[in-house]
Amino acid sequence: MNIDEGRKKLIVALDVESREQALDLVEQLKPWAGMFKIGMRLFYSQGPALVEGLCRRGVKVFLDLKLHDIPNTVSQAARILARLGVAMFNVHAAGGRAMMRAAVESCREESTALGIPRPLVIAVTVLTSIDQPAFNRELGLSGPILDRVVAWALLAKECGLDGVVASAQEAAAIRQSCGPDFLIVTPGIRPAGAAGGDQKRIVTPAGALAAGASHLVVGRPIIAAPDPVEAARAVLDEMGANV
């Protein structure tokens, strides 16, 4: 894998609160990452203006707000996210068929009307902070996590979504069930020797790609490192990119 291929697969999570921190990380890391994830912490702190500003500068943004509501509400939210110019956003697969279809259809309509590329829409399956005991006992869901993740991935594909967010531990089964073009975005990525933190179902960069992941989301191991650029280069090296 060359550096350009590796870069396209790496999504850096901007898990910070301030605009200044976010912009500084983007400036440092844009040669090494293909996309930047803005989650609830940064979005709720800085709002849509930061997202729109980055998009206008040509930065690819994955807006990780995990939309989960009635279909009409998610439909209208998806239109707004399309207007912001994000490259990708997500919804919860647990919201069901009607909600997921509403997100994709309204997003497509809005993008067509504006003459802009449609954002990729992906579905969150089971959070990587959830392990098997919590899945069964706390969430009250029966059976293995793997079975539910694959079922939701197949439902997302049926609804016209571009892919899913899932642990790399389920990536091989999703890839087998959903085919080669389905996106599998994997958080819970920890370089060899890194602490897991609050993530339970974690995998190394190389392991995630070997399992079939299309994109890796890496936050704290890069942005909390003494040298974020060197940390990003190390992740790319573990991915097999020729850094």
Annotated binding site for substrate: 15, 37, 64-73, 128, 190, 199, 219-220
Instruction: Select which of 9, 60, 66, 157 is catalytic.
Output: 66
DSSP classification of residue 96:
-
Tokens for 223? 């942005």
Q: Are 141 and 82 in contact (CB under 8 A)?
A: no
Let me know if 9 is a catalytic residue.
Answer: no
Give the CB-side neighbour count of residue 34, counting CA atoms within 13 A: 16
Rounded to whole angstroms, how far apart are CA atoms 185 and 96?
20
Tokens for 44? 């709720």
- Whose CA is closest to 103, among 132, 137, 127, 69? 69
Residue 189 burial class via C-beta count within 10 angstroms: exposed 0-12, middle 13-18, buried 19 and up: buried
Four-residue CA torsion sign, 220, 226, 228, 232: negative
User: Which residue positions form the known binding site?
Assistant: 15, 37, 64-73, 128, 190, 199, 219-220
CA separation for the pair 75, 84 (Å, rounded): 15
Active-site residues, by number, are: 66
